[in-house]
Chain A
Amino acid sequence: MTDRLGIVTEASLERGVEVRLDGPVSVEDMVVGRYVTIEGQQRRFFGMITDVSLGVTDQRLTVTPPDVTDPFIREVLTGTSTYGSIHVTPMLTIGGDAESILEGPQPVKTIPGHFSVVNLASEEDIERVFGSEDPQRFHIGNPLDMETKLCLNLEEFVKRSNGIFGKSGTGKTFLTRILLIGMLQKSQAVNLIFDMHNEYGWEGSSEGTTGKVKGLKQWGQSKVAIFTLDKENSATRKVPTDFTVQIGYDEITPEDISVLRSTLNLTELAVEAAYQLRRRFGKGWLRETLALGEGDTSQEDIDGILKEANIHESSFQSLRRGLGIIQRLGFVVPQAPEDAVKHILNQLDRGVSVVLEFGRYREISAYLLVANMLSRRIYAQYQERSEKARANDTALPQPLVITIEEAHKFLSTEVAGKTIFGTIAREMRKYNVSLLVIDQRPSGIDEEVMSQMGTKITCLLDNEKDIDSVLAGVSGKNELKAVLARLAPKQQALIFGHAVPMPVAFQPREYGSAQSYKEFGQAGSQTDTARAEKDIEELWE
C-alpha cells in the first residue's frame, strides 16, 4: 500500500473532509479509526478516517454495471469513473513555520484547501502528536494497524478522574491492569483498587492460552500490598496477603445503607428509618437495631421505640431484612479487631498501592458497601490533610487513584449524590484523590459525573445508549461513534479526552505472554526488570 491516499475534494469544519482515493489505493485497505495527514498549504492536519464509501461519476454505471470480469475495464474504471472515498474528521493541526512547530499541535479551526494531498499518518507523525516513551509517558499500545507506540502521559492522566468502558469480555480488566502497571512505574500516584473479581492483586485469569496472568504485586513487590476480605479464599489461591479487612458494626453508617437501597431492595422509608435509628442510638445504631427483637426486648418496647422515632413497622421490617443481609457478610463483625482504614492509609502513605480482594464476596452489595465505606473515610483523611497542607503551605498528600468496577452502581443519578465517588468525580481532585472507574454500562452513570471524567478509554460497546453516554460532549461525536461501533470485540479501544491530544483508536499492548512481561519489565526501573526476569524464569521452570 502506498502512503499517498488521495486528495481532498470537499471539506467543511462542521462535516469534516471528503477525500477521493487515488486509483491504486484500495478502499478495502481503508479502515475507520486510522490516522491520516492532510498537507494543507500552510499547515498539516491530522485526522481520523471515520467513514469509507464508494462513488461513481455517472449514475448509469450503477444501472448498467460494466463488465468487471474484464480486467482491463476494471483497471481503467477503478479510481476514475468508480472510486473510493474516505471521510476524514480533522482532529489537530500543526502549522508550517518554526514558531507553530514549537507550539505543537493545535485544535482545528480551519479546513485544508481543495485537492490537498492526503497521506497515511507515518510513525513520526504519530510520535510527534502523542510523544514517545519517557519518564511520564507510558506505552499503552499501538494505533490501529500501525507499529508505532502509542504513549500516554500518566502524570497528566492521573490529574483527573478517568473511565474505562466496554462490554463484558472486551478487555477492560487487561487494559486497567496495563494502566495500573504504568502508574506504578511512571506516576507519583498511589492506587487503591477495589478488586471485585480478585484479578489485579496477585494473579488474574485469561481466556487466552496462558489461562492465568500476573497481577500487580508480581510487578512491584515493594510498591503493592494485597489486602483481603476473605482470608481463606486468598489462601486457597496462594495469594500472599498483607492484611485481612474486617468491618465492625460501628463503622457502618446510614449513608452506606442509603447507597445500597436498590441493591438491598429497601424502601425510601426504610432508609429514612436507618437515619432515625442512628439519631436514637448513636454510633452503635446497627448493633442496637439488629438486637431489637432478637433478644430480650419485648414487642412492647420495640413498638415504643418505633413510635418514638416515628418509624412505621413495615419500614422497620424492610430495614431489618436489609441489615440482616449485611450482617451475614463474613467480613462484617460486631467489633473489628483492627482499623482497616488505618492500615490502608499506612500503606498509601508509604507510597504502597493497595489491592483489596473480595474473595468469595462477589455480590454487589458487599462491593458497594465496602468500597463506599472505606473510600469515604480515606477521602475524609485526604481532605483534612490537604486543607492542613494548604493552610500551612506544606506539601499536599501524594495523589491517590481509587479504582472501582461496576461504577454505574456507585455513580447512577440516584446514588451519585450520596456516594463518596460522586463527590470525588465532581471535585476534580481538589484533595488529590481521583477515580479510575471501570464499567460495562456507562449509560447507567450520572451524566454530570461522566462529563467530569478527564480521559475515557472505551472498548467495544454496542448499546446505543452506552455509546451516547460515553461520547457525550466530544467533538466529532457522530464520527467517533462509527469508529467505536467497529472496534474488534477484544483488545481494541478508543481513547479520548484530557490526557491525549486527539482521540485515537488503538490496540492495547499484549499482556500475559513471557515476552510481554519482559517488555513491561523493561519500561520499569532496573530492579523491576531484574525481578521480572527472575519471575519469568520461575514461571517457566
Chain B
Amino acid sequence: MPFELFIALRYLKDGRLQTGLILAGIGVGVGVIIFLSALITGLQQSIVERTLGSQPFVVVRPPEEMPRALASDPAALNAVETQRPPQRIRSITGWEQVEALLQKTPGVVAVAPTVSGPAIAVRGEAALAIAIRGLDIEAYSAVIDVRKRLVDGVFNLSGFNAVVGTELARKLGVGVGGRLRIQTGGKPETVYTVAGVFDYRNTDLNERLVFVSLRGAQTLFGLEGGVSSLEIRGTEIFGADALADEIRDRTGLIAESWMARNGDLLVGLRSQSSSSVMIQVFVILAVALGIASVLAVSVVQKAREIGILRATGTRAASVTRIFLLQGAMLGTLGSLLGIAIGTALALLFARLATNPDGSPTFPVALTGWLYARSVGVALTVGLVSAIVPARDAARMDPATVIRNG
C-alpha cells in the first residue's frame, strides 16, 4: 500500500465520529441527487413515451396550399371540432417515391403512409365528430405500436372493419361486432363493423380516433391511390427536430417533429430539468463545504502530527496527497452510501405511489449511468474540497508545530 494511502486510511478510521458524520452527510446529499434524478428522469421518460405512444416522431404532409391546414395527425385532433366541414384533403404527390426516399434516410426506422380526415360517426340517434385514420396496420405498427392499446376484440382493419376507442364505444353504445355509420362531406354513409376497441388512456383520443384500412379512408375522402401523410419513427427521440429539418430539405414537403407539435410539453420538461439541476448544484455545494470543513478541522487538529511526519522525512507533496486522498475516499464512500440511500428511497417511492392497476404512478429511472455519474461527481467534489485544507497542511511549518505542540 502506498505510504499516503496508509496514513490517509488510518486517519479516516481513527476519526470515526467525524468520518461517520461527514459520510452520512455526503450519503444523504448524494441520495437526494439520485432519488431526484431517478424520479425526474423516470417521469420525463414516461411522459415522452406516452406522447410518442400515440404520435410519430415526424409527420410528413403536402405543402400548404391554403392558410389553414387540415388536421392530419392526432395532436391536432383537438382542433377537429372547430374545423369547417372537410375541405379537400390532398395527397402527397408521388408519395411512393417519397416513402422510398424516407426509408433510405439515415435516422429513420420506419415509415407508414396514412390517410387522415374528419368524419361523423352515427349510430341510431347519436352522432359524434371523429377523426379517421386510414392505415395499414402492419406498416403502421412499426411506427407506433397501436396494437398494444387494444383492450377488446382484434386489430383487424380489413374490408369494412374499424377499431374505435373506449370512449366512442361507450358514447355510441357499440361493442365488438357492433356497427356504426361513417359520414364524410357530401358522400353516402359507409357502414363499418367494430372489430376492436382500444384505450389510449386519453379521453379525447379514445372518443375521436377511428382506425380503418388505408383503402377505406381513401374511399371516404375521395383520395383513391393517395395518402395525406407519411408517419415516421426515428432512432433518436430527441433527434426528431433535426430529422424533420432534414426531411423538409430533402423533399420540400412539410415535416413536423413531435417536439414541434408539443412545444408546451417540451418547455415543461426543460424547466423541470433545470430546476432539478439547480437543486443538485446546491446539494453538491453543501456536500463540498461539508468535506472541506471536516478536513480543515482535521488539519488543525493534526498540526503536530503533520510536523512529526515532516520531521521524519515526509515530503510536503506527500502531506498534500494524504489529505487529497481523504477527500477522495470520503467522496467515494459517501457516494456509495448515497447510492444505497437514493436507491432505497426511489424504490420505496415507486412502491408507495401506484396506480389502481398496480403500476407505479412515478416511474423511477435508476440507471448505471446515474450511479456512475454520482460516484464521479462525489469523487471530484471530495478532491476539490480537499485542495485548500491539503495545501494548508503541506504549508505547515514543522518547527513551529513541534515546538508549540
A binds B: no
A residues sitting closer than 8 Å to B (CB atoms) are none
